[in-house]
Structure 1
């Protein structure tokens, strides 16, 4: 029998077979604890490291947490979850042996997946084909936002200021490595070598000397065969800004900006600093910047969001120098979303607390049409 409920059912989809599996589990737990039970019914779809879709009761999602600096992950010994397109819309069923049980209509999917196969347009395409409304950007915007090379091409075409960089494709690295290294050597050091389509700062290296670039590229290629090398911004502040789509389909809104401050001069905001900080970093919300700089950051964040045809939410990251000049670093179409992450904290200081923010995102998903838009 179908579950009888008068409130929308939200499927939290989390985990995944990317390197950011554990971060996704943390995010799902935080959202599951905060979502308004009087407004939404929640069902859980976990994706294990092997790529299996499994049923995870919402009560278990809420219990996922960091223990002794070990991040949570999903076990494989769970019943399979199947999302399919039924005659009355999208439906979630559980496979128990040779039986399909407990069908539930899904009104909105909230994919709290980071990295490849989560925020890169792949699962968004699956939702489109299944006729499921979902939180966040569509296929093209997600894919472009995930690929830092294509993202920079779009931003540059829209007149947004970006820093010098070199993109290294698998073909270029494998057929003419010397030319790729020469191109990187033309940048001013330090440089940052990173997977072109990675997230959560996995596989990123700060490189001070040209002779160390090759090793850093190989490390980044452990996460993505396509690599981006960005010229470092020296003596600049790292400023972030949250963006939310509009319920009426109009221009998006920007939050107050925030600042990331590393406690040592040569450090950068890597995986450990983000998720196992141990006093490595301070997150200042709002950022202590001049009103004019804040206004320009907010306007630029909205422009970047619409340049990609973004939907729902995004976090846009910037560098700001001592004179107030601004460069856009990147956009994240599914930013970190635990209660302590920058995106929710920026919106809390802008008037939307964490549960309200989750409600707004689901409402945005419910109002958008299926198919091309």
Structure 2
């Protein structure tokens, strides 16, 4: 049976450009003999645009962008989805490569659940929990996964009494610390703070991106990443790390400069490596993960382990760690990895269809 594969990218998010880079790589890697590939571009205004059936190699992200005369997001979504998903008998799968807000936070996943179509990646709950760093850390704490000290800060709390909140943060977390928007990724809006002046400036920056922030005590250690794929029986890759020039790896350094060295497998003892793999599966399970998840840790010089965060929709750009980890783990190619994720999406959807949604009389 022919499979129609709809790739969603762009989006109303600060990570719009990152999504375009991921989409370019994914779309070029897909086997056009196996899938009918339909790129679906979501503009920064939230308008959904179909680029039609893709049958050629793409050379630049500008080819992935389009404008639509309809300026009403709801109308563009409804018209497009009804047209695409109601026609034909082909097997249909959605592959979201949307990063950040309105992409990996459970909103698109909820829409696809209502449309009753299979989609790659985590479901509504795990996407939302993985995106919200405060909820994520609360769940890790409940699961007993080691992590650094943290606290949440809401916008109205800061606006009500910034002095009080500074004192609370200083007493509970101290300096140095990191201030992050709770619902964003790709290092956007993140600042390191050494004193109160830094803290106030960092909060001001982060509140531009989210009403909820997380403040974390700094951990001095190497950043180690692992990749998990699966549904009920997840598997974990070997660990990897980036060798980087700066203490803090910001957005421009991560996505624009390309000056990265991947060390796979990471330089770890066998015991620490095994422990990280176990904790990665534990984190995946704690968030009720499905499909894929990248799990990030800090490992100190004393071999203390702290989970940093997870990414429920990790990037697939040419410098992304997730696909490289699987290639180094068992030889899985980029295209094979996408095929596997599509298979997992279909497997999960098939199980959902077997549920009984009626109460027996």
Q: Say yes or no: TM over 0.5.
A: yes
Partner residue in 1 for 2:248: 268
What is the DSSP-based 3-state SS (H/G/I as helix, E as strand, rest coil) of the residue aligned with 1:133?
coil
Partner residue in 2 for 1:99: none
Distance 1:318 1:51, change over 3 A: same
Q: Equivalents in 1 of 2:116, 2:80: separation in Å?
A: 11
**Counterpart pick for 2:13 among 18, 41, 48:** 18
Distance 1:56 1:78, change over 3 A: farther
Q: 1:304, CA displacement in angstroms? A: 0.2
What is the DSSP-based 3-state SS (H/G/I as helix, E as strand, rest coil) of the residue aligned with 1:90?
helix
Distance 1:104 1:176, change over 3 A: farther
**Is residue 49–residue 66 contact of structure 2 (8 Å, CA) maintained in 1?**
no
Partner residue in 1 for 2:358: none
Q: Equivalents in 1 of 2:353, 2:307: separation in Å?
A: 31
Q: Equivalents in 2 of 1:239, 1:132: separation in Å?
A: 34
Cα offsets for 1:244-269 (capped at 9, x unmatched)? 015xx3x20000100122213xx312
Cα offsets for 1:168-209 (capped at 9, x unmatched)? 012211222222211221224221111110111111111121
Cα offsets for 1:203-235 (capped at 9, x unmatched)? 11111212220111010111111111111112x
Partner residue in 1 for 2:135: 150
Q: Equivalents in 2 of 1:371, 1:305: separation in Å?
A: 23
Distance 1:72 1:213, change over 3 A: farther
**Is residue 91–residue 106 contact of structure 1 (8 Å, CA) maintained in 2?**
no
Q: Equivalents in 1 of 2:183, 2:304: separation in Å?
A: 27
Task: With the length of structure 2 as denominator, give the TM-score of the two structures.
Answer: 0.89
Q: Equivalents in 2 of 1:205, 1:37: separation in Å?
A: 43
* Bigger proportion of residues as helix: 2
**Counterpart pick for 1:258 among 232, 240, 264:** 240
**Does 2:348 align with 1:353?**
no
**Does 2:67 align with 1:76?**
yes
- What are the within-5 Å matches in structure 2 for residues 93-242 of structure 1? 107-186=92-171, 187-234=173-220, 236-242=221-227
**Counterpart pick for 1:64 among 60, 67, 74:** 60
Query: Structure 1, unaligned stretches of length 5 or more?
Result: 1-5, 66-70, 93-102
Q: 1:137, CA displacement in angstroms? A: 0.6
Partner residue in 2 for 1:330: 309
Cα offsets for 1:305-341 (capped at 9, x unmatched)? 0101000000000000112111100011000112330
- Large movers: runs of 4+ above 4 Å: 77-81, 103-106
Q: Equivalents in 2 of 1:15, 1:104: separation in Å?
A: 28
**Counterpart pick for 1:300 among 249, 260, 279:** 279
**Counterpart pick for 1:41 among 28, 36, 53:** 36
Query: Structure 2, unaligned stretches of length 5 or more?
Result: 71-75, 356-361
Task: With the length of structure 1 as denominator, give the TM-score of the two structures.
Answer: 0.86
What is the DSSP-based 3-state SS (H/G/I as helix, E as strand, rest coil) of the residue aligned with 2:262?
strand
Q: Equivalents in 2 of 1:72, 1:192: separation in Å?
A: 37
Q: Equivalents in 2 of 1:353, 1:21: separation in Å?
A: 26
Distance 1:220 1:125, change over 3 A: same
* Bigger proportion of residues as strand: 1
Q: Equivalents in 2 of 1:337, 1:322: separation in Å?
A: 30
Q: Equivalents in 2 of 1:61, 1:18: separation in Å?
A: 26
Partner residue in 2 for 1:97: none
**Is residue 22–residue 72 contact of structure 1 (8 Å, CA) maintained in 2?**
no
